[in-house]
Amino acid sequence: MNIGEVAERSGIPPKTIRYYEDIGLVRPQRSGNGYRAFRETDLHKLAFLGRARALGFSIEDCRTLLSLYEDESRESAQVKAVAEEHLKAIDDKIAQLQSMRETLSHLVRSCHGDHRPDCPILSDLAGGPAGA
| Site residues, a copy of itself (CB under 8 A) | 44, 47-48, 51-52, 54-56, 65, 68-69, 72-77, 79-81, 83-84, 86-87, 90-91, 93-94, 97-98, 100-101, 103-105, 107-108, 111-119, 121-122, 124-128
Burial of 28 (0-12, 13-18, 19+ CB in 10 A): buried
| 30: helix, strand or coil | strand
18 binding partner (options DNA, a copy of itself, none; Cβ < 5 to 8 Å by kind) = DNA
Does 85 contact DNA by CB under 7 A? no
* Residue among 24 and 129 whose Cβ is closer to DNA: 24
**Beta bridge mates, 29:** 37
CA angle 24–67–28, rounded 5-degree value: 35
Kindly state whether residue 92 participates in binding DNA, applying the rule CB under 7 A: no
Neighbour-count burial for 49-79, b at 16+ CB within 10 Å, e otherwise: beebbeeebeeebbbbbbeeeeeeeeeeeee
Q: Could you give the string, one character per residue 15-44, with x where binding to DNA holds by CB under 7 A and - elsewhere? A: xx-xx-----------xxxxxx--------
Which residues lie near DNA (CB under 7 A)? Answer: 2-5, 7, 13-16, 18-19, 31-36, 53, 58-60
